[in-house]
Amino acid sequence: MSKVYTKTGDKGTTGLLTGERVSKTSARVEAYGTVDEINSALGLARANCTKPEVKEAVLKLQKLLMLIMADLASNSADQHYVTAEHVTTLEQLIDEFDAKLPPLKNFIIPGDTLGAAALDLARTVTRRAERQTLRFKEQETEIKINEHLLISLNRLSDFCFVLSRFEAETIK
């Protein structure tokens, strides 16, 4: 039986997807760790959302987040996991859900439903992940960050906002 703990990180380093070891406090690890937090927030949202189409969309986002984390945990400038197609798909999904909503006329205060509140939490964590990834890009200039990954994070926060509105729309 294998154990959950490996002891390889006991001295403050972690392994990248490509095998290199880096400090757990590096900007890169902060970035993909924050993306992991988005995944947890989206899991909470998926467990609490009531609309099947929102649950399905959230699951798609969670699968995309795995690719984003793989990109961030890799040193490969030649192979990226997140592509322009992912950005296009996100934009299409945003447009599809947004078209079903009434025009936004005021600020939204999170908390109308558990699912909508969890989606709003995911939105704010996504904004932080985007900032962390940009910080990583600025601090470690020798590493080329996948531009589609950055765009995807930006669109992901927009999509969480739209999904939150869509999920809460039932109570209005």
**Residue 75 and residue 143 in contact, taking contact as beta carbons nearer than 8 Å:** yes
Q: Which domain holds residue 34?
A: 21-171
Phi, psi angle pair for 14, to nearest 5°: -140, 155
This prediction's pTM: 0.91
Element (H, E) at 23: strand 21-23
- Domain assignment of residue 25, yes or no: yes
Domains held by the chain: number: 1
In this structure, the number of other CB atoms found within 10 A of the CB of residue 8 comes to 10
* Range list of β-strands (E), 76-163: none
CATH number at residue 131: 1.20.1200.10
What is the full per-residue pLDDT of the chain (172 aa) written as tens digits?
A: 777 777 766 778 777 777 788 888 899 999 999 999 999 999 999 999 999 999 999 999 999 999 999 999 987 667 899 999 999 999 999 999 999 999 988 888 888 999 999 999 999 999 999 999 999 999 988 888 899 999 999 999 999 999 999 999 865 4
- Domain assignment of residue 70, yes or no: yes
